[in-house]
Amino acid sequence: MKRIFLIHLITLFTVNCFSQEISQKEIRKKMKAKEIILGYNYGEEMVLAKMKSTKKWGLYNVFSGMDIEDFSFEEVISPKFDSLSFFEQEARFQIVKQKDKYGILLLPYEIEDAADRVNCKFDKIIHKKVDGEDYVLIKEGGRWGLIDWFEGFYIVDPIFDTPEEVPLIKMERWMVETFKLVKTKLNADLVIFDPNNGDGALKARSKKTKKWGMYQFLDMNMEEKELIPMQYDSINFYSFNGKYTAVYNNGKVGFYLSYWSYDKQAKETVACKYEDYKRFDADGVSKLAVKKNGKWGWVDWLTGEEKSEFIYNSTDDLPYPHYKQNYWFGD
């Protein structure tokens, strides 16, 4: 409420400042505008004007004196939008409208051809700011996705029914070209980079089958390394120096060995038939507990062999895992 009051107060003050010297009617006549909104943007006197010639809104720097003869203006954004506003403080873009479609207008002081780059083709746009990051959700063809607000490419294809379902994926500048390459080469509709290891690993979902795989692209001229094939409903990233990770199908979890540890021997060693899992460090050795038919037991993550009965109600009830857990085949 305080912010709204302050905005109204600033607007009233601004209008009064203009009005003390030149009337809005005189300004409209001088600019050949149907409507105007007076204000300040980035410390400069500015006007939003709906021009008679186009019946669209544009943005103008204005230079005013004591009377209308001293008034002049300079176009910042050409009058081509059905909706337009002053840029908010520190904002680098805004949502604009043309013929009932929406697009992204970049900051004209940073991008010389900002207005020409706008592509109003979306049914709706939602701007979310999370932890200082800007995310632009778009609706197209009745479905929601995510675009890069600066370059306009799809980070997440419009495949979701609601905006709440769209994953907010952060796209660093160094990721962009790799991201585009991955989507093309793998025919993927979703790509998520490993946020922890920073080694070029990523998850990609097949546009055709909707199954996930994991890959590594270290160089734009290299062939991709397939870490996990595209055959899972979901996949977890490997932990740092982890020997295996969880993979899921039909609501059940299994485990896949790390390519970096096992090279060509990397494979699914524990089938996707368990309901839950928990890792344990048993005297410095990684042990894996899994849940089956509502009960817990131990499983060898290297071979998939079950190492106990499944009769325990919780992981706290599990007996100590005395079995030998090998780290390498042939041990």
DSSP assigned state of 33: E
Nearest residue to 55 via CA among 27, 83, 29, 77: 83
Q: How far apart are CA 14 and CA 68, in angstroms?
A: 17
- Which residue, among 301, 308, 331, 313, has the nearest Cα to 239 in the 3D structure? 301
Please tell me what DSSP assigns to residue 78: E
Q: Give pLDDT tens digits along the chain (331 positions).
A: 433 333 333 344 444 444 446 789 999 999 999 999 998 876 788 999 999 999 999 999 988 777 788 889 999 999 999 999 999 888 899 999 999 999 999 999 899 899 999 999 999 999 999 998 999 999 999 999 999 999 899 999 999 999 999 999 888 777 888 888 889 999 999 999 998 766 778 999 999 999 999 999 876 566 789 999 999 999 999 988 899 999 999 999 999 999 999 999 999 999 999 999 999 999 999 999 999 999 999 999 999 999 999 999 999 999 999 999 999 998 7
Give every CB contact of residue 119 below 8 A, 6+ residues apart in sequence. 103, 152
Beta strand extents in 70-121 (DSSP E only)? 72-81, 93-98, 101-106
